């Protein structure tokens, strides 16, 4: 199966690969995994006092589409508020990367990851 | 020739359950293969030949499914009406996923290490232990009925899928290391 140019670009030059301090109060961590393919994804956001995501990092072990989906998502969420980031739909990711139907679940995984990261951040704030 | 409506367990004359006597399964598999093998029907009519081929395929499928713990567990869940629509299922167990991530990271670091072989061996040992633990859990969960145990079994199957993938990655790395030597 042929990957789109955008997927290949993100796969070969992934943006924002790395790790943020999981224990810090202003960091939210989302861990997700797809049992069908065994892919695991960690997506982290750093949120400032205004509720804006000022940094995002990810690490994904999986196929090119899963890596590209999470890489693209970290680019998109930077500078957005939590509410805006939560509104990002997997279909937008799939469309931007021109993912074929069998790879749509990779974009779903990325959407789950950002939602989990936001939930983790908010549970820390509430605690 | 064969009754295609029977379950894989019935085909081998075994009771449906996660605990399977593997040597006995292998013995019955060879027996069945002898009975249905297309070579025996070379002189028979086309319909019989086709039936023989279909039977041999079914026996192979059944054997492949029952001898492998993960496939056997997935099959048992299917028999109980659980559709493992894995594509859109995200495992909701952060601690387990964190561990998977750590193991993947450790695996990725093996190639840069000077003691790559020893590190890989240790990791494969860890992965093997985790798989064994999960298989043991499945054995308990699948022996029980009840919705709670069934849900737990689905989770265990999902974890097995991650562990098998991890194991496959480790084996690929092992092959790379051997090529490099």
**Long-range contacts, A74-81 (Cβ 8 Å, 24+):** A74/A15, A74/A16, A74/A43, A75/A15, A75/A16, A77/A45, A77/A53, A77/A114, A78/A16, A78/A53, A78/A54, A79/A52, A79/A53, A79/A54, A80/A52, A80/A53, A81/A50, A81/A51, A81/A52, A81/A53
Residue B168, φ and ψ in degrees, nearest 5: -65, -40
**Measured between CB atoms, which of B88, B98, B168 is closest to A31?**
B98
The encoded tokens of residue A65 equal 């589409």
On whether any CB of chain A is under 8 Å from the CB of B15, the answer is no
Instruction: Please return the burial class of A92, using the count of CB atoms within 10 Å of its CB with bins 0-12, 13-18 and 19+.
Output: middle
CATH of domain B94-180: 1.20.1280.20
Which residues of chain B from 124 to 153 reach within 8 Å of chain A, CB to CB? none
Tens digits of per-residue pLDDT, A62-79? 989 999 999 999 999 999
Per-residue pLDDT band at B85 (split at 50, 70, 90): low
Q: Which residues pair with A42 in a beta bridge?
A: A31, A59
Q: Encoding tokens for residue A110?
A: 């990325």
| Residue B102 touches partner A, C-beta closer than 8 Å | no
* ipTM for the assembly: 0.85
Write down the CATH number for the domain with range B8-67.
1.10.287.110
Query: Looking at the DSSP assignment, which residues form a beta bridge with residue B81?
Result: none
Asked if A37 is an active-site residue, the reply is: yes
- What ranges in B42-115 are assigned the alpha helix state H? 46-67, 69-79, 94-110
Q: Which of A56, A68, A88, A106 is catalytic?
A: A106
The 10s digit of each residue's pLDDT in B132-150 is 999 999 999 998 878 888 8
pTM above 0.90, yes or no: no
Q: Check CB contact of A103 with chain B, cutoff 8 Å.
A: no
Instruction: Work out the number of other CB atoms within 10 angstroms of the CB of residue B167.
Output: 17
Asked if pLDDT for residue B88 goes beyond 70, the answer is no
Same fold for the pair B8-67 and B94-180:
no
CB A7 within 8 A of CB A69: no
Domain assignments of chain B as residue spans, ordered by start: 8-67, 94-180
């Amino acid at each position: 199966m042929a990957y789109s140019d955008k997927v290949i670009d993100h796969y070969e030059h992934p943006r924002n690969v790395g790790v943020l301090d999981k224990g810090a109060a202003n960091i939210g961590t989302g861990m997700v995994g797809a049992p069908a393919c065994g892919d695991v994804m960690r997506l982290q956001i750093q949120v400032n006092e205004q509720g804006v995501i000022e940094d995002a990092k990810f690490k994904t072990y999986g196929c090119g589409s899963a890596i590209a989906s999470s890489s693209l998502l970290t680019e998109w969420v930077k500078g957005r508020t939590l509410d805006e980031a939560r509104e990002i739909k997997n279909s937008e990711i799939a469309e931007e990367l021109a993912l074929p139907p069998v790879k749509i679940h990779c974009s779903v995984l990325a959407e789950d990851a950002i939602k989990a990261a936001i939930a983790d951040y908010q549970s820390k704030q509430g605690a | 020739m064969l009754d295609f409506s029977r379950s894989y367990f019935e085909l081998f004359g075994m009771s449906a359950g996660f605990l399977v006597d593997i040597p006995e399964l292998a013995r019955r598999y060879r027996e069945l293969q002898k009975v249905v093998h297309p070579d025996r029907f070379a002189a028979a009519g086309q319909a019989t030949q086709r039936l023989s081929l279909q039977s041999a395929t079914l026996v192979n499928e059944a054997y492949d499914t029952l001898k492998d713990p993960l496939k056997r567990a997935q099959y048992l869940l299917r028999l109980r009406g659980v559709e493992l629509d894995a594509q859109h299922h995200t495992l909701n167990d952060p601690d387990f996923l964190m561990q998977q991530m750590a193991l993947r990271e450790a695996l990725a670091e093996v190639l840069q290490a000077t003691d790559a072989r020893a590190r890989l061996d240790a990791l494969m040992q860890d992965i093997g232990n985790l798989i064994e633990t999960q298989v043991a859990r499945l054995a308990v969960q699948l022996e029980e009925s009840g919705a709670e145990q069934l849900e737990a079994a689905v989770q265990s199957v999902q974890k097995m899928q991650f562990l098998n993938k991890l194991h496959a990655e480790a084996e690929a790395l092992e092959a790379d290391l051997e090529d490099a030597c």
